[in-house]
Amino acid sequence: MPHASSLLAFALVSFGMVLTPGPNMIYLISRSITQGHAAGLVSLGGVAVGFLVYMLAAAFGITALLFAVPFAYDALRLAGAAYLLYLAWQAVKPGGRSPFQVKTLAIDGPRKLFLMGLVTNLLNPKIAMLYLALLPQFIDPSAGSVLTQSVVLGAIQIVISVSVNAMIAMAAGSIALFLATRPAWTLVQRYLMGTVLAGLAVRMALEARRG
């Protein structure tokens, strides 16, 4: 099992990333506002399955990689730090787009909603980087099975992401109206998330190799 500190740190990273606008959030919000809460939650079901696919692929892939390539950990650590800095810049750069600026979507049935949620997540570069570059930073080979740690950390990410996205989907209309009438809150959210992600990136880049 991962150490408690690793579990908490990864939970914070997962929480920060789920609040950072990306394809999943934009799609779920647009779908919920366009077609209703139920449609948003069906789409979220597809997103959740996408998380599961990534988790299993990363768990087995990371297990093999960390044992096969001596410097794989350092390469993934630096890649993860670089991507967090990229997300931090995306959050604070001038003219950044709010995910609550709704896209117009066609009305779809449950099957297509689920599949679109799945495809959106599988093609989401943020989730790919989360599992392939960030998750390994919280795995300590000396703490036990790398595979088990990967699955536990992945499960934490899935629970946090699905829970937060479900709440956002349910309240999408109200949040969009709130932010539309109070643009300063959007700026505060962007700079807060940018600062958190940049801090995590620096910490990750300076961290000594474990195990």
Contact 84, 197 (CB under 8 A): yes
User: Is 211 inside a domain boundary?
Assistant: no
Longest CA–CA span in the chain (Å) reads 54
List, for residues 33-91, the tens digit of each pLDDT value. Answer: 888 888 889 999 999 999 998 888 888 876 666 556 656 666 766 776 787 777 778 76
Please determine, for residue 195, whether its predicted confidence score (pLDDT) is greater than 60. Answer: yes
Distance CA 10, CA 69 (A): 23
Residue 123 pLDDT exceeds 50 = yes
Residue-wise pLDDT for 142-162, tens only, equals 777 888 888 899 999 999 999
- Say which residue, 99 or 79, is predicted with more confidence: 79
Quick check: is 187 in a domain? yes
Q: What's the predicted TM-score (pTM) here?
A: 0.70
> Residue 58: inside a domain, yes or no?
yes
Counted domains in the chain: 1
Is 163 inside a domain boundary?
yes
- 124 falls within a domain: yes
The pLDDT value recorded for residue 211 is 45
The whole-angstrom separation of Cα 36 and Cα 9 is 34
Token representation of residue 177: 């109206």
Domain presence at residue 166: yes
Is residue 107 domain-resident? yes
State which residues form the domain around 181.
4-206
Region 12-26: what's the mean pLDDT? 81
